[in-house]
Structure 1
Amino acid sequence: MITEKVLIRVGHSPDPDDAFMFHALANDKIETDGYQFVHELQDIETLNRRAFDAELELTAVSLHGYAYLTDTYAICACGASMGDNYGPMVVTRQPGTIADLKGKTIAVPGTLTTAFLALNLCLGGKPKTPSRESHVSGDAGTFKYVVYPFDEILNVVERGEVDAGLIIHEGQLTYMNQGLHLVVDLGKWWMEQTGLPLPLGANAIRKDLGPQAMQEVTKYLRESIEYGLDHREEALGHALKYGRDLDDRKADEFVGMYVNDWTRDFGPRGREAVARLLEEGHKAGLIPNPVNLEFIAG
């Protein structure tokens, strides 16, 4: 008798670090027993908003987005993207300082991204429109913002359509190719403020799967991460398909920034960093309610 496999729809970003992390699951490199994994690739802001409707059993989320999802999702203890003294960046056409960003219009990759939360903490912003509400532009008090797809932000800054851009993913390694200047690295700024890495993204697993399935699916995610780290060249070959404007060396560097020991497990310091970030967001009025964190080991 053939037992039907449990469908696990997986959402993650079409970028090299997520592709590296999910290579083994996407390409049948590990045995997943009674589960069938189907992958859906979308930008992180779209995945954050889909998670409000709990569409996917396993999904990449921003830690900022997760602040609104605790009723339906828990965090996998593996699969973190941590900025360890580096992270999202604000770039401009001319050199400038953090103070110069006050009152300016900044292109951002989504209001539920952790990058947007960190930007507001850095600039003392407090958006008049709550982050959970979907909108394309707004006023954060100390700056204005316009939402763009993450892979368009460098171009709109270069063309002068906005004053500055908040960049995530591989743009952190390529912005200088378009003659742009770094104003602030928010991961470095956060480290200076707290002594902690900046937790950017995680994988969230839907609670209605039940404790056993949540642990088993998290175990397969961990095995996929371990496979990539143990078969780096092979996994990089898969990741390169998603490395916009990255050569092999840059792709390797980028993957190393966001798939590493932090990705194997948040660990005590990583969990402390998540709690501190969301606590600071709540204290600043950027996150409406205190966040109760739940991590699932696998």
Structure 2
Amino acid sequence: MKLSLGFSPCPNDTFIFDALVHQKVDTEGLEFDVILADVEELNQKAVQGVLDITKLSYHAYAHLTNQYILLDAGSALGRNCGPLLIAKRPLSAEEIKKGPIAIPGKLTTANFLLSLAYPEAQNKQEFLFSDIEKAVQQEEVIAGLIIHENRFTYQDKGLVKIQDLGEFWESSTGHPIPLGGIVAHRRLATDIQHKINRVMARSVAYAQQHPLATRDYVSAHAQEMNEEVMYAHIGLYVNDYTRDLGTEGRAAIAALFQKAEALNVVPAIKEEIFLNK
């Protein structure tokens, strides 16, 4: 059985999907037609329902629970790994409110966290995540919301941190921050959904146990990123929650959605979002 599979070229994704894509683990007869795309593009593809399995941001997933079910394996959750609001200089609350602020997409979890921390900051402009530092440097925007490996490079470009939105979330809720998850389309039979989850968990475990075996695939898609940043990126976003959400991971996601619902940022969620054990 061949399934369409979307994930990003970022090191944490290529790291955990390498064994699955290249049949280094038992895929239980499943084959995958891979689509590599930026997370906001994946969010939009999920809105269209075109992919059988996809990585997407948790903010986007909150709008799509009627179409997709969340796997226990493959998520990016953690502590001290949230998006950062950066600028060329320290900013006042009034300046942040006025904007404009560069964001990596309306449906990203990063944008949702920005809305929590700075609800009055409504002047936002969407950029590809890798272009946000440049937009701040060139003063196209007053501040930028950075994700992924850019949290390791912004200081080298003379930029300063205004707020770590992961710290904001953790200090206000006590939960790890849910950033992105792997979902399977509800049109797939339940036994196929469980099979995908098993294969995904196997792929994550393989990567964690044989990190050097993934190097070629990760490096091939990491563009000009140096190896130190590449592995720092993986270390930040791949952890025990990635192999299995567990009780704590599920609780963090539920808390994120409850807060989003309370603020009318997402519609009320009526479906069971987690794959039955």
Q: TM-score, normalised by structure 2?
A: 0.95
Deviations 1:112-134 (A, max 9, x none): 00000010011024xxxxxxxxx
Match of 1:91 in 2: 86
Indicate yes or no: 2:82 matched with 1:102: no
Task: Tell which deviates more after alignment, 21-30 or 239-248.
Answer: 239-248
CA positional deviation for 1:240? 2.5
What is the DSSP-based 3-state SS (H/G/I as helix, E as strand, rest coil) of the residue aligned with 1:10? Answer: strand
- Please, which of 47, 55, 62 is the counterpart of residue 60 of structure 1? 55
Q: Where do 5+ consecutive residues of structure 2 fail to align?
A: none
Matching of residue 44 in structure 1 with residue 34 in structure 2: no
**Any idea what the Cα deviations from partners look like across 1:232-266, whole Å, max 9, x if unmatched?**
12223422233345322221111011111110111
Residue in structure 2 matched with residue 260 of structure 1 by the alignment: 239
Q: Hey, what does 1:133 align to over in structure 2?
A: none
Q: What is the letter of the counterpart of residue 214 of structure 2? A: A
- After TM superposition, the structure 1 = structure 2 runs for residues 14-163 of structure 1, keeping only pairs within 5 Å, are 14-96=9-91, 100-125=95-120, 142-163=121-142
Q: What is the alpha-carbon distance in structure 2 between the residues aligned to residue 290 and residue 98 of structure 1?
A: 33
2:129 and 2:271 map into 1 onto residues whose CA distance is: 29
The Cα RMSD (Å) is: 1.6
Match of 1:129 in 2: none
Identical columns (%): 33
Give distance in 1, aligned partners of 2:221 and 2:146: 17
Q: Which runs of 4+ in 1 moved over 4 A?
A: 97-100
Cα distance between partner residues in 2 of 1:97 and 1:10: 43
1:129-148 per-position Cα deviation (integer Å, ceiling 9, x unaligned): xxxxxxxxxxxxx3300111
| Shift in Å, 1:85 | 2.8
The CA distance in 2 between the partners of 1:186 and 1:245, in whole Å, is 27
Partner of 1:270: 249
| Residue 36 of structure 1, CA deviation | 1.2
Relative to structure 1, is the Cα distance of residues 291 and 193 closer, same or farther in structure 2, using a 3 angstrom cutoff? farther
Match of 1:215 in 2: 194
User: Among 233, 238, 241, which residue is 2:212 paired with?
Assistant: 233
1:94 maps to a residue whose letter is R
Q: CA offsets per residue over residues 196-235 of structure 1, 9 Å max, x none? A: 1110100000111111111011111111111100101222
Whole-angstrom CA distance in 2 between matches of 1:281 and 1:244: 34
Mapping of 1:181-220 within 5 angstroms? Answer: 181-220=160-199
Once the two structures are superposed, what CA deviation does each residue of 1:165-222 show, in whole Å capped at 9, x if it has no partner?
1111111111112111111111111111111111010000011111111101111111
Q: 1:97 to 1:194 in 2, by over 3 A?
A: farther
Pick one of 148, 156, 170 that aligns with 1:177. Answer: 156
**Structure 2 letter corresponding to 1:25:** L
Distance, in Å, in 2 between the alignment partners of 1:58 and 1:34 is 16
- Structure 2: distance between partners of 1:143 and 1:73: 29
Tell me, yes or no, if the aligned pair for 2:28 and 2:199 is still in contact at 8 Å. Answer: no
User: How many angstroms does 1:33 deviate by?
Assistant: 3.4
Gaps of 5+ in 1: 1-5, 126-141
Residue 288 of structure 1 deviates from its aligned partner by: 2.6
Tell me by how many angstroms 1:295 deviates.
Answer: 1.8
Equivalent position of 1:243 in the other structure: 222
Cα distance between partner residues in 2 of 1:232 and 1:297: 30
In structure 1, C-alpha distance between the alignment counterparts of 2:157 and 2:276, rounded to whole Å: 42
Cα distance in 1, alignment partners of residues 224 and 84 from structure 2:
17
Equivalent AA in structure 2 for residue 260 of structure 1: N
